[in-house]
Structure 1
Amino acid sequence: MSTLHRRTVLVALGALAAPPIAVAAGARPAHAADRYPSNSALYAALASVEHVEWTRRFRRHATAHGGTQPFPDTTILAVHGGGIEPGTSELCIAIAGYRPSDEAPLTGRLYDHWLFEGLRSSGNADLHVTSTNCDDPVALSLAGGARRTVSLHGCSTAEAGLPDGTAAVLVGGRDQALKTRLRNRYEAAGIQHVDAATVPALSGTDPANIANRTLTGAGTQLELTTDLRAAMFTENTRPRRKHTTTAVFDAFVAATRLALTD
């Protein structure tokens, strides 16, 4: 399977996706008034500090001519990576099949992935663009060409309606079959999980959510509480997270990848 690093994706594919829809079910009220109404607005306003205060990364795979590997039909997303929702970048890279520390491919299936990351030492929350307003053409192209997605997010226990100190993942989105497989795998791995349908603000069911802008109109959204993400790293800082993953991180990644291959 050949891998294309930061390959230019046909803009026409992104144009096939519908324009952003107003925030509705599955959007987080705390971010209803994002500083930037879309990724494109953020890119325009902060063009001079790309790769300094923010960056975007992606990898797209293609089957070699005459090869036997199927074209990747799953996209992994971290739309609030880096310092915005800490830990989601590292999870995105690992679930896609790469080692977070150096992004070397690991054994097993490789998946397309896209990340937007805050690189500031503080104030990364200002770079948050709610998932229903993500209009990055590469992100839209990767999601739009996939049958399923896994979109990684971080939330607080208060946002999730859970007791302080709870380490859990809320499994949401419109892909009911994959949601069930994910919850089954988390159960088997001893990872506390919640059906995000019970938490409307984090349900991830809005059709405009980038997680659901797939060929099937369905994807999954995983909201990991702060406590669960903290348990995944021995040094929970942006420079060090990718080098200090724990057994909790490995178990979560393995369970998620197993769900994708079930």
Structure 2
Amino acid sequence: MRLADRYESFQSLAAREIEGVHYRIHVAARSSPVVVVAPHGGLIEPGTSEVAAAIAADRFSLYCFESLTMRARGDGLHITSTRFDEPRALRLIEASDVAIGVHGRKNGEDEASVWVGGLHETLRDAICDALLQSGFRAKTVGEGHRLAGRDPANICNRGRRREGVQIEMPKALRIKFAADAAHRHAFADAVRAALSDELAGVR
């Protein structure tokens, strides 16, 4: 069971934490209908910012919220995706057609598969297929994972189309990515290819 967040909103977090000391925010607004978002980067869900940046490359917009300080369990800077309301994130997402949320999860009973969710079912399935074709293990909600990302309030679903994609990577895979940049970039390339095809109207 996931412990309750210490903070229920960014306003409550910002009242006690100092930007540049306890957390940092990275925003790269590009001329693109897609934004890649890592709302739990840095020490919250390690490796997610790096993967998000690799997916965005120099083509898609990017937003990362990163914790800079190690916290005791249950005392972190995690704000759940359905309540994540940092103003710079919302401005960038709401100015984009589609948001791709990049997250980390515990290994649990499945330490190999990327769980793909979100309300943009066509793009969700295309990303899942692209990962499978690139040699990664991936599955969608219909294949038995519980992180569906289907709440309209989820940050991935708050772009102009009101539907996006949520990518949940297990801890074991994120550790591999940290040790092997080529492996991480192969993952990012697969996701970006699916996004590019969607933008081109192929899918």
Give TM-score, length-normalised by structure 2: 0.90
Alignment partner, residue 155 of structure 1 = 105
Alignment partner, residue 184 of structure 2 = 249
Of 141-150 and 174-183, the range deviating more from structure 2:
141-150
Alignment partner, residue 13 of structure 1 = none
Q: Which residue, out of 62, 71, 79, partners 1:129?
A: 79
Alignment partner, residue 26 of structure 2 = 57
Alignment partner, residue 66 of structure 2 = 117
Alignment partner, residue 201 of structure 2 = none
SS in 1 for 2:104: strand
For residue 195 of structure 2, what is the amino acid of its counterpart? L
SS in 2 for 1:128: coil
Change (3 A) 1:155 1:38: same
Report if the CA contact (8 A) 2:139-2:145 is conserved. Answer: no
| Residue 30 in structure 1 maps to residue 2 in structure 2 | yes
Distance 2:49 2:153 in 1: 22
Distance 1:77 1:57 in 2: 10
Distance 1:196 1:226 in 2: 19
What's the % identity of the aligned pairs? 34
For residue 32 of structure 2, what is the amino acid of its counterpart? P
Matches within 5 A, 1:39-188: 39-46=10-17, 49-61=18-30, 71-97=31-57, 105=58, 110-123=59-72, 126-158=76-108, 161-162=109-110, 166-188=111-133
Report if the CA contact (8 A) 2:36-2:99 is conserved. Answer: yes
Distance 1:131 1:175 in 2: 16
Name the Cα RMSD after superposition: 1.6
Q: Which residue, out of 200, 206, 214, partners 2:151?
A: 206
* Segments ≥4 residues shifted beyond 4 Å: none
| Structure 2: runs of 5+ lacking an equivalent | 198-203
Distance 1:129 1:170 in 2: 20
Give 1:122 deviation, angstroms. 4.0
Give 1:246 deviation, angstroms. 2.7
Larger Rg: 1
| Residue 259 in structure 1 maps to residue 197 in structure 2 | no
Distance 1:37 1:212 in 2: 19
Give 1:54 deviation, angstroms. 0.9
